[in-house]
Amino acid sequence: MSIAVAEWLLGDDRGIPALADLFVGAYKRDPRAGYARGFRGVLESVTDGSELIAVLRPESDKSGAAMRAGVIGLLPDIADVRRTAALQARVTHRTLGGMTSATAAALSVHYCRYGLGPVAELPEWLATNLPASTEPAIWRQRWLGKVGSPGMDSTRAAVTALAAHTSMAELLRSCVAYTGDVDTVATIALAAASRCAEYAADLPDVLVEGLENGAFGREYLAGLDARLVARFG
Residue 210 amino acid letter? G
DSSP state, residue 196: -
Q: Does residue 184 carry a pLDDT above 80?
A: yes
**Is residue 85 scored above 80 in pLDDT?**
yes
pLDDT exceeds 90 at position 134: no
Cα–Cα separations (whole angstroms), residue 63 to 56, 92, 97, 184, 212: 16, 10, 9, 7, 25
DSSP assignment string, 48-97? SHHHHHHH---B--BSHHHHT-GGGGGSS-HHHHHHHHHHHHHTTB-SHH
> In the structure, what pLDDT confidence band is assigned to residue 132 with cuts at 50, 70 and 90?
low
Instruction: Identify the pLDDT of residue 190.
Output: 98
Question: Which residue ranges make up each domain of the chain?
Answer: 1-56, 60-202
Mean pLDDT value of segment 21-50: 94
What is d(CA 226, CA 232) in angstroms, rounded to the nearest whole number? Answer: 10
Lowest mean pLDDT among 28-32, 56-60, 135-139, 158-162: 135-139
Q: Which CATH number among 3.40.1160.10, 1.10.1750.10, 3.10.20.30, 1.10.4080.10 corresponds to the domain 60-202?
A: 1.10.4080.10
Distance (Å, whole) CA 85 – CA 74: 11
CA atoms within 13 A on the CB side of 27: 22
So what's the pLDDT on residue 125?
97
- Environment class of 26 (CB within 10 Å of its CB; exposed 0-12, middle 13-18, buried 19+): buried
Q: Is pLDDT at 209 greater than 70 in this prediction?
A: yes
Per-residue pLDDT for 219 more than 90? yes
